[in-house]
Amino acid sequence: MEYALFYAEGADALPYDPAQDDVGEWVDDVEARGVSEYGERLRPEQDATTVRVRGGEVLVVDGPFTESKESIGGFDVIDARDLDEAIEVASKHPVASFGRVEIRPFVRWPDAAPGSRIVPPGFADRAVEGRRYLMLVVVEPGGERAAADGRPVEDDGPEAWVREMDGRGVRLFGEVLRGPADATFVRRRHGEVLVTDGGFAEAKEWIAGFDLIEVRGGLAEAIEVASKHPMARGGAIELRPMWPFDVHEDHVARAGREAAERGVRREPAASEVLAEVAR
C-alpha cells in the first residue's frame, strides 16, 4: 500500500541536532527493502509561494499556507506492506526524533490499472529538465469546492488540469490523498516510538493532494500552472522548490554549510514575478 510521508517540526519539536540527522542510513535502509518510490527535501519555508484565485484574480503571497511549525520540510512516497511497516519506516527517519512524520494514505481509485504506482517506474533516474516544484493542494476551511468565482462545481475536478499539464509535460506525477481523519503521526522521543491519530480540527486547512511539476519558465510558469488548478479557487496551492543534497555526505558538515541559506528567500518575490508577467 502506498503512502506519502511528510516531514515537519510539529508543535512539540526538539532542537535540531545535525549529529542525529543520519538520513543516509535511512535512505539505504528503505531502498534495500524496496519500500521507497521517491522522496525529496524541500527548500525552507521562506521559499514557498502560495497561490490562490479569488473572483478570477490570481493572489500570490511569499511563504507557506500555514504557520511555520507545521510547514513541510520534505516528503517521500513509499510502498509499504501496511500501516505498521509505514510507521516503522517513518519512526526511523531522522526527523521523527526531533519533529514529526505524517503518514497519509492515497486515495485508491477503483479503476486504477493493477500494479500502477504513484511514482512512474524509473522516475528517480530521470534527468531534471527544468525547475521542479512540489505543488501542495490545500483545502481551506469554508473554502472547499466553494467555486468562489462563481463557476459551476462540475468544473472543480482536476481531470482537465491533469490532462493539460500532462500534455505540456509539466506534471511529473501526483495523487489525491485520503483526508486528515486517515492520517497518522509518528514521533520518536527518548527511544520510544509515539504513534497518534491525525487529531483533525474541522477549522484547520489541510493538504488534500500533491503534484510534482517541472517547468522551464521558473516561478512565473509554476504560478501560472498552479493558478489553473481548480483547488486554487476554493483553497490554496503551495509551491515548494526542491532542495536536493547528497544523502551520503557528512551531515554535520552539510548542516553547517546550509545554515546560511535558512531564512533567506532564494526564489524571486512573488509580487515581482506577477508584475513581470503583467508587463
Partner 1 sequence: MPGADGADPVAPGIADALRDAYASEWARVVATLIRVTGDWDVAEDAAAGAFARAAETWPRDGIPRNPGAWLTTAARNLALDRLRRRGVEADKVREWIAMEELSGRAGGPPDPADLAGDALGGEPDWDDRLRLVFTCAHPALPMESRVALTLRTVAGLDTGEIARAFHVPEPTMGQRISRAKRKIRHAGIPYRVPTADLLPERLGGVLAVLYLVANEGYLASHGDALQRLDLSAEAIRLARLVVDLMPDADEARALLALMLLQHARSAARVDAEGDLVPLPEQDRAAWDAAEIAEGLALLGSAAGRAGDASREGPAPARPYRLQAEIQAVHVRARTADETDWRAIVARYDALAMLADSPFVALNRAIARGMALGPQSGLDDLALLEASGRLDGYHLLPAAQADLLRRQGETDAAAARYREAIALARTAPERRFLERRLAEIARS
Residues that bind partner 1 (CB under 8 A): 1, 3, 80-84, 86-87, 103, 105, 178, 181-184, 192-193, 195-197, 199
Query: What cell numbers appear for 83 in the block?
Result: 500501516
Indicate the residue among 170 and 186 with the shorter CB distance to partner 1: 186
- In this structure, what are the phi and psi dihedrals at residue 251, rounded to the nearest 5 degrees? -75, -25
Q: How far is the CB of 224 from partner 1 (least distance, A)?
A: 34
CA-CA distance, 186 to 76, in Å (whole number)?
14
Q: How far is the CB of 101 from partner 1 (least distance, A)?
A: 13
- Distance of CA 99 to CAs 13, 32, 43, 63, 174, Å? 5, 25, 17, 20, 25
CA-CA distance, 255 to 23, in Å (whole number)?
12
Indicate the residue among 115 and 122 with the shorter CB distance to partner 1: 115
- Distance of CA 220 to CAs 156, 169, 265, 275, Å? 23, 16, 16, 10
Q: How far is the CB of 4 from partner 1 (least distance, A)?
A: 12
Q: How many CB atoms lie within 10 A of CB 255?
A: 15
Q: How far is the CB of 138 from partner 1 (least distance, A)?
A: 20
Indicate the residue among 2 and 261 with the shorter CB distance to partner 1: 2
- Distance of CA 28 to CAs 31, 81, 87, 92, 248, Å? 5, 18, 17, 12, 9
Indicate the residue among 8 and 215 with the shorter CB distance to partner 1: 8
Q: How far is the CB of 169 from partner 1 (least distance, A)?
A: 32
Q: How far is the CB of 102 from partner 1 (least distance, A)?
A: 12
CA-CA distance, 175 to 2, in Å (whole number)?
11
Indicate the residue among 67 and 192 with the shorter CB distance to partner 1: 192
Q: Please say whether the beta carbons of 17 and 217 come within 8 A.
A: no
Indicate the residue among 54 and 117 with the shorter CB distance to partner 1: 117
